[in-house]
Amino acid sequence: MQIRGSDFVMYPVRDMARSLAFYRDTLGMVVEGEYGDGTWVELTASPTTLALFQPDDPHNGPPTGGAAIALAVENVDAAVGELKEKGVEVLWHSESPVCYFAAIRDPDGNGVILHQRKDGTCG
């Protein structure tokens, strides 16, 4: 598996409206997209994306809570297979309208997302 770059960084938030007011209105970041009935919002933080999420939505939370990095890979399915062969536990493996992704933990329990955009881009 070869890492192509970082696709996004995730921050858990308790109050999406308050967080959006801070990142969008106070810091001037641009909203790229809103998903999951507003429980996941992506903002431009070039050359990556900042994803704000509400961890009480079961589709959003990183494996252990807190922040997580999403690493771009060429093929999530192939990466998952490679990691399973190495004995790495894959916590979840899924697809959205725009990407494929899977979650693992590093040795200290930090969340790592393997991410593949359907349009082939990264960063």
**pTM across the whole model:** 0.69
CATH code for position 16: 3.10.180.10
In a domain, 122, yes or no: no
* CA 75 – CA 72 distance, rounded (Å): 9
Q: What is the pLDDT of residue 63?
A: 46
For the ranges 17-26, 44-53, 86-95, 105-114, which has the lowest average pLDDT? Answer: 105-114
The total number of structural domains in the chain stands at 1
Mean pLDDT of 79-91: 92
In a domain, 86, yes or no: yes
Question: In terms of residue numbers, what domain contains 50?
Answer: 5-117
Mean pLDDT of 22-45: 89
In a domain, 123, yes or no: no
Q: Specify the higher pLDDT residue, 40 or 108.
A: 40
In a domain, 45, yes or no: yes
Percent of the chain with pLDDT strictly greater than 90:
46
